[in-house]
Amino acid sequence: MARRKLAGLRTIVTGASQGIGRALVVEAARRGMRVLAVARSAPLLEEVVQEVRRAGGEAVACVADVTRPEDRQAIVTAVQQHLGGLDVLINNAGIGATGHFMDSDPQVLRQIFETNFFALAEMIRICLPLLRAGTTPAIVNISSVLGKRALPARSLYSASKFAVAGFSEALRAELIKDAIDVIVVSPGLTRTNFSQNMLEQKARLPLDHLRGMSSEEVAAATLRALEKGRVDVTLTWRGRLLVLVNRFFPGLVDRLARRTVRRLFADEIAQRQKRS
């Protein structure tokens, strides 16, 4: 994987209006990268672009929905028009849901995959011709610790992030012939409003996002990975610990997960046992 200087690199950031995406735009521009900020909300995008410009950076807003083919084409047109090409694609746009699979709406799973996986894959497909002509080109896919170890009540989101991880591994080998790096960054708990924007919130045990990293810390770690050419980065000590324990003692993590579910559904389990 190539080490690279970030200053001057032409960059697309999706999901750029809030949270990690917004922080990525600000930090990338601060480090001299030229950014096309992509999101669905025009007012929020304009806020981040104006913040960057006041600080002396370069950012351009592109209002688009990455799940729509015509909008993906508009993104490519915009990056060519405003930046003259593309060196780095950061796929950050994502949505989530919590709750047990059997209680979820089938359409929610499809919506999650449409944004978290299919839109990501198709953004890469449409941007590859530009990346092949870019300077030290790279694709950065923002995944999740839950794409390395799934947890109860996060099955839909975890499934989409496992798909991102597997796709990225295969793509990394495929694109070696084009000298395009593929980097996966897996944040753990992050202090954003991601949980407020979920499609469904049915988990009985919410995760405490206030204990997590800030969006700015995630953005800084992501750009360090890009700069150093690191392949796979897992963030937060809790996230790294979960992945490490799961690697060597997966049965232990399974038992802890089952114990948590039994505790949360103790009444339901007891009633079913009475009926049997």
**Phi first, then psi: what are they for 214, rounded to 5°?**
-80, 160
87 in active site: no
CB-count exposure of residue 191 (10 Å: 0-12, 13-18, 19+): middle
Q: Are 227 and 32 in contact (CB under 8 A)?
A: no
| Residues contacting residue 61 through CB under 8 Å, at least 6 positions apart | 37, 42, 45, 46, 48, 49
- From the list 88, 134, 153, 157, the catalytic residue is 157
Phi-psi region of 236 (alpha: psi -120 to 50; beta: other; left: phi over 0): left
Distance of CA 159 to the CA centre of its chain: 13
For the annotated catalytic residues, the residue numbers are 157
